[in-house]
């Protein structure tokens, strides 16, 4: 029996998920038209007729819960990678013993937290968007599982985790300038693809934690749970409930609920600012006027003297001044309060393209301090040094500045001491402060 998108997703949508039969793949795609979540929202309407379209062209695999338990060693703490609003993420390994023809590879398995705030709809949105969109700068969805109330997603494994972890983990080697620009460029290309695909998509949740990094720092966008189809015909915007993340969402979207591609451009500007300054988009531990990064930093972006003061101290002056000025000017435009003054992602990509080739140029003192205690050394060991960076610079870079804030403490949750060492208590606190927003302004 063929498994069609209609049979699987519709039955899942109605909450009548059949146990997916192992060793079967979704049937062949018979139409090029990309289907939308709205096509599934009213299963009784005629729109559902279109659902004979399947996702098989994208080679999505349907896994059983039992299979995913095996490949993640029962979601063991040693395989834990991190946790967001959807639920925990564990590393696993798949090969052709699981499905004939399946490439042997590590994967990341995301499990819906049944007590959490997200649910079937976010899962379905992710499957529908990522199942049909393929691009070098979007994370690859390999398959999913939908069994009774359980919802899981299986992605390609991204060895360097999220940009959030790479940029803000205190004891990690600071990302060098050219790597930061490479990440900005890659993420911009992912967003450009979404904005310019046949049926444009607004991503709506562009932020550092949703940018995943391959071993060579190729950036890929993940998490399509909030993605929306762009406006159609003569419509200028999509009206939605306000959802996103504090510190990243565009001001006019928060005020009106009017969503456009320019809302994504604003969020891109915030991430670019995070890359320049090494500060989080929202940081409650800072003085009040500095807590919202975009509001605080924007006036300084067009002034090269003041720009020098807000550049990430962890860069230790090792950046191209010209490159920084150009990136700052771009961030300034992206963060404009008038959406139509923001550049398109196409302009953003063109502007960033040359910047990734600007080498680090020492323009300040090269300051470093050595960690003073054992725990710092442990955290250091958990971080993977970006090896190619040393070659690129041609000189050795010391890794740390002395920490000014308390170090990681809790050992109560074994998952905090996982394979990749992610999700320290401090990072969890930041996540709590930067939670998704919706109309009720969940904070």
Ligand X SMILES: Nc1ncnc2c1ncn2[C@@H]1O[C@H](COP(=O)(O)OP(=O)(O)OP(=O)(O)O)[C@@H](O)[C@H]1O
Give the footprint of ligand X on this chain (CB under 6 A).
Answer: 81-86, 89, 108, 110, 139, 155, 157-158, 161-162, 165, 209-210, 212, 222-223, 422
Window 172-211: contact mask with Mg ion (x via CB under 5 A): -------------------------------------xx-
Q: To the nearest whole angstrom, how small is the minimum distance from the Cβ of residue 209 to ligand X?
A: 4
**Range 355-358, long-range pairs (CB < 8 A, 24+ positions):** 355/181, 355/184, 355/185, 355/320, 355/323, 355/326, 355/327, 356/178, 356/181, 356/182, 356/184, 356/185, 357/178, 358/177, 358/178, 358/181, 358/320, 358/322, 358/323
Q: To the nearest whole angstrom, how small is the minimum distance from the Cβ of residue 194 to Mg ion?
A: 16
CB nearer ligand X, residue 161 or residue 247: 161
Q: To the nearest whole angstrom, how small is the minimum distance from the Cβ of residue 279 to ligand X?
A: 18
* Residue pair 437/245 in contact by the 8 Å Cβ criterion: yes
324 binds, among Mg ion, ligand X, none (CB under 5 to 8 A by kind): none
Q: To the nearest whole angstrom, how small is the minimum distance from the Cβ of residue 211 to Mg ion?
A: 9
Which residue has 């996982």 as its token pair?
418
Q: Report the SS3 class of residue 243.
A: coil
Q: To the nearest whole angstrom, how small is the minimum distance from the Cβ of residue 225 to ligand X?
A: 8
CB nearer ligand X, residue 53 or residue 249: 249
- Considering only residues 220-259, where is the footprint of Mg ion by CB under 5 A? 223
DSSP string for 24-35: -BBPPP---SPP
Size of the site for Mg ion (CB under 5 A): 4
CB nearer ligand X, residue 242 or residue 333: 242
Cα(108)–Cα(142) distance, rounded to whole angstroms?
Answer: 10
CB nearer ligand X, residue 12 or residue 212: 212
Q: Report the SS3 class of residue 90.
A: strand
Q: Which residue is nearest to ligand X (CB)?
A: 84
Q: To the nearest whole angstrom, how small is the minimum distance from the Cβ of residue 164 to Mg ion?
A: 9
CB nearer ligand X, residue 173 or residue 422: 422
Q: Which residue is nearest to Mg ion (CB)?
A: 223
Among candidate residues 39, 205, 283, 382, the one labeled active-site is 205
86 binds, among ligand X, Mg ion, none (CB under 5 to 8 A by kind): ligand X
CA distances from residue 58 to 21, 26, 363 in whole angstroms, order as listed: 19, 9, 48
109 binds, among Mg ion, ligand X, none (CB under 5 to 8 A by kind): none
Sign of CA dihedral 210, 214, 219, 220: negative
Q: Which stretch binds Mg ion (CB under 5 A): 60-68, 81-89, 284-292, 430-438?
A: 81-89
Cα(177)–Cα(320) distance, rounded to whole angstroms?
Answer: 8
Helix H or strand E segment including 201:
strand 201-202
Cα(1)–Cα(278) distance, rounded to whole angstroms?
Answer: 53
Q: To the nearest whole angstrom, how small is the minimum distance from the Cβ of residue 179 to ligand X?
A: 17
Alpha helices in 156-303 (DSSP H): 163-168, 177-196, 251-256, 261-277, 293-297
424 binds, among ligand X, Mg ion, none (CB under 5 to 8 A by kind): none
CB nearer ligand X, residue 84 or residue 371: 84
CB nearer ligand X, residue 308 or residue 425: 425
264 binds, among ligand X, Mg ion, none (CB under 5 to 8 A by kind): none
174 binds, among ligand X, Mg ion, none (CB under 5 to 8 A by kind): none
Active site residue 205: yes
In this structure, are strands 238-239 and 436-437 parallel, antiparallel, or unpaired?
Answer: unpaired
**Range 236-239, long-range pairs (CB < 8 A, 24+ positions):** 236/260, 238/202
Q: Report the SS3 class of residue 174.
A: coil
Query: What token pair was written down for 44?
Result: 């009784």
Per CB under 5 A, 84 contacts Mg ion: yes
133 binds, among ligand X, Mg ion, none (CB under 5 to 8 A by kind): none
Interacting residues with Mg ion (CB under 5 A)? 84, 209-210, 223
Catalytic residues: 205
């Amino acid at each position: 029996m063929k498994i069609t998108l209609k049979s699987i997703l519709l039955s899942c949508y109605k909450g009548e998920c059949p146990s997916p039969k192992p060793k079967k793949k979704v049937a062949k795609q018979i139409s090029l038209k990309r289907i939308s979540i709205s096509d599934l929202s009213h299963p009784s309407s005629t729109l559902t007729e279109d659902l004979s379209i399947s996702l098989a062209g994208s080679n999505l695999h349907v896994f059983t819960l039992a299979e995913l338990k095996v490949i993640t060693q029962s979601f063991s703490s040693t395989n834990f990678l991190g946790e967001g609003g959807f639920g925990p993420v564990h590393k696993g390994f798949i090969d052709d013993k699981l499905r004939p023809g399946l490439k042997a590879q590590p994967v990341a398995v995301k499990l819906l937290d049944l007590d959490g705030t997200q649910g079937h709809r976010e899962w379905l949105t992710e499957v529908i968007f990522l199942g049909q969109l393929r691009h070098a700068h979007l994370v690859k969805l390999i398959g999913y599982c939908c069994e009774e109330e359980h919802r899981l997603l299986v992605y390609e494994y991204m060895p360097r985790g999220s940009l959030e972890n790479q940029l803000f983990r205190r004891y990690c080697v600071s990302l060098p300038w050219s790597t930061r620009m490479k990440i900005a460029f890659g993420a911009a290309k992912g967003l450009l693809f979404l904005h310019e695909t046949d049926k444009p998509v607004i991503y709506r949740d562009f932020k550092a934690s949703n940018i995943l990094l391959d071993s060579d720092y190729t950036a890929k966008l993940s998490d399509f749970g909030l993605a929306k189809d762009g406006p159609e015909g003569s419509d200028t915007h999509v009206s939605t409930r306000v959802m996103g993340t504090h510190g990243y969402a565009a001001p006019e979207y928060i005020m009106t609920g009017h969503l456009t591609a320019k809302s994504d451009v604003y969020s891109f500007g915030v991430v670019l600012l995070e890359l320049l300054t090494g500060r989080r988009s929202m940081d409650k531990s800072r003085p009040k006027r500095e807590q919202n990064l975009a509001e605080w930093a924007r006036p300084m972006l067009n002034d090269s003297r003041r720009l020098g003061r807000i550049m990430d101290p962890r860069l230790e002056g090792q950046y191209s001044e010209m490159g920084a000025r150009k990136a700052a000017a771009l961030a300034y435009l992206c963060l404009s309060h008038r959406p139509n003054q923001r550049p398109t992602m196409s302009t953003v990509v063109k502007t960033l393209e040359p910047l990734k080739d600007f080498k680090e140029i020492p323009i300040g003192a090269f300051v470093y301090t050595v960690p003073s205690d054992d725990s710092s050394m442990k955290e250091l060991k958990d971080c993977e040094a970006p090896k190619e960076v040393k070659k690129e610079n041609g000189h050795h870079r010391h890794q740390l500045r002395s920490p000014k804030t308390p170090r990681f403490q809790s050992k109560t949750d074994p998952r905090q001491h996982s394979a990749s060492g992610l999700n320290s208590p401090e990072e969890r606190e930041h996540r709590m402060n930067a939670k998704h927003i919706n109309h009720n302004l969940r904070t």
